[in-house]
Amino acid sequence: MTSMEMDLQKLAGIIKDMKFTMLTTTSEAGSMHSRPMVTQKIDESNFDGNLWFFTRKNSAKIHAIENDQHVNLAYAEPDKQRYVSVSGRAFVSEDQSKMKELWNPALKAWFPEGLEDPQISLIRVEAESAEIWDSPPSKVVQMVGMAKSMATGKPYDGQKHSQQIDLNN
């Protein structure tokens, strides 16, 4: 297994259960806008770096992506002290076979006509890099680390649980 495949597998393993993310796009005027999105199925063993989202064709996020494909996805799982920031490029897709593969009945809340809805489309985000913060969930472990830091006079190294992944190999 190559290092990029291992990085992709690690990324998928961390975010596969984090259903919600904040998708950030940039408007034509240069302002950034974030909104919650639901990441569709991630197969940890087969993850290729593409993250998929259902959306409406006429949404503001589609117009922002058409203007500037650079996006960021922010995932958080505070209970486990896990945070992931994924940078990449977004593309709009109307691939019917991909929609069928990713469809689940809960999506009817947004698309009552199901896959026949004329406004349904997908956003595919090709991950280019990711920053992962995976700290010990135990507050005691964190407090001991901070106390040790204060006792030794050495700064607390919260970065030792951080990893940057470049997926452009």
Residues 6+ apart with CB under 8 A from 132: 10, 11, 14, 82, 83, 84, 162, 163, 164, 165
**% of the chain with per-residue pLDDT over 70:** 83
- For 58-101, the pLDDT digits (tens) are 999 999 999 999 999 999 998 888 999 999 999 999 999 999 99
Number of folded domains in the chain? 1
Find out whether 84 and 127 touch, Cβ atoms under 8 Å.
no
CATH code at position 99? 2.30.110.10
Residue 8 carries which side chain, given as an amino acid letter?
L
Does the pLDDT of residue 103 top 90, yes or no?
yes
Q: What is residue 81's predicted lDDT score, i.e. its pLDDT?
A: 86
The DSSP code for 66 is H
**Structural domain harbouring 160:** 3-166
Residues 6+ apart with CB under 8 A from 55: 37, 61, 62, 121, 122, 123
Confidence of residue 149 (pLDDT cuts 50, 70, 90): low
